[in-house]
Amino acid sequence: MKQNITLSLEKDLLLKLKVISAKRSTSISRMLADELKVIVEKTERYELCRRKALQAMESGLHLGGRPAPRDELHER
């Protein structure tokens, strides 16, 4: 479901956007919707990767080998 929003822009910016949108054969509304969608998708991907990274840090990584006894590590 789509919903309209009201956006307030400076006149010179709006004129430039009209020119750009005409060159791209699209509307300002469509350009804004596409850019906002990209922002949301990037944010969601970042949060997913962040959660996965934090989870991996909490669980740690098994790098093989076995722990050495304390006596072997601290031979004098």
d(CA 66, CA 43): 40
Query: Over the stretch 1-13, which tens digit does the pLDDT of each residue have?
Result: 999 999 999 999 9
**Among 16, 13, 2, which Cα is nearest to 24's?**
16
For residue 42, give the H/E element and its range.
helix 28-59
Q: What pTM does this model have?
A: 0.70
Over residues 29-61, the pLDDT tens digits come to: 999 999 999 999 999 999 999 999 999 999 887
Cα separation, 45 vs 43, whole angstroms? 5
Q: Which tokens go with 55?
A: 């989870």
Spans of all domains in the chain: 11-58
Contact between residue 27 and residue 21 where contact means Cβ atoms under 8 Å apart: yes
